[in-house]
């Protein structure tokens, strides 16, 4: 189950009042760094830019072209050492709904592979040495040493 904190909407829907959830200048700063890193060929520069947003990025992390990280709450994302985040992956630490908005830490263990175009939702933990197939939706915790695939991601086998 995802670990999320909920906050009531302050209007017709929570996204209309996003600026009450996070300082707009911080969101702009995060946006500029994350989108600059998105197409940066240098993996070490990418890691540096992500760390400037408050993300916890381990050693030897490789992030593929076009990956997108949460611009509102990147400080809630933690990626362990020696991970590969594939092409076009999306990692979210928030979700805006009609009646509320939620945030949750995204924790990725060491030696994790997340395949291309996968999405990891807020409040999810992916255990060390796990693999997520391309085009998967991770909407719940993934135990260590396992291989998950699909929408939503389901266990295929142990690694």
Position 3 in a domain = no
* E-only strand ranges, 9-108: 56-57, 62-63, 68-69, 77-79, 84-85, 90-91, 94-96, 100-103, 106-108
pTM, entire model = 0.95
Q: Is residue 15 among the annotated active site residues?
A: no
Catalytic annotation, pick one of 47, 94, 107, 110: 94
Question: Which domain range does residue 112 map to?
Answer: 18-158
When pLDDT is cut at 50, 70 and 90, the band that residue 10 belongs to is confident
In the chain, the number of structural domains is 1
Position 64 in a domain = yes
Write out pLDDT tens, residues 85-139.
999 999 999 999 999 999 999 999 999 999 999 999 999 999 999 999 999 999 9
- CB of 77 closer than 8 Å to CB of 94: no
Distance CA 27, CA 70 (A): 10
Position 9 in a domain = no
Position 1 in a domain = no
Average pLDDT over residues 37-64: 97
Write out pLDDT tens, residues 21-49.
999 999 999 999 999 999 999 999 999 99
Distant-in-sequence, close-in-space partners of 137: CB < 8 Å, separation ≥ 6: 118, 119, 121, 150, 151, 152, 153
Position 80 in a domain = yes
Position 153 in a domain = yes
CATH number of the domain within which 133 lies: 2.160.10.10
Position 96 in a domain = yes
């Amino acid at each position: 189950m995802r670990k999320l904190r909920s906050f009531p909407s302050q209007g017709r829907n929570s996204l209309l009042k996003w600026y009450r959830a996070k300082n707009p200048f911080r969101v702009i700063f995060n946006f500029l760094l994350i989108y600059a890193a998105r197409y940066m060929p240098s993996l070490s520069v990418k890691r540096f830019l992500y760390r400037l947003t408050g993300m916890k990025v381990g050693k030897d992390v490789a992030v593929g072209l076009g990956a997108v990280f949460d611009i509102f709450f990147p400080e809630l994302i933690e990626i362990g050492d020696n991970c590969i985040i594939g092409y076009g992956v999306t990692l979210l630490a928030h979700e805006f709904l009609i009646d509320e908005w939620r945030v949750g830490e995204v924790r990725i263990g060491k030696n994790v592979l997340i395949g291309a175009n996968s999405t990891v939702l807020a409040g999810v933990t992916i255990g060390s040495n796990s693999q997520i197939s391309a085009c998967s939706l991770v909407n719940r915790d993934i135990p260590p040493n396992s291989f998950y695939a699909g929408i939503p991601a389901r266990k295929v086998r142990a690694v």
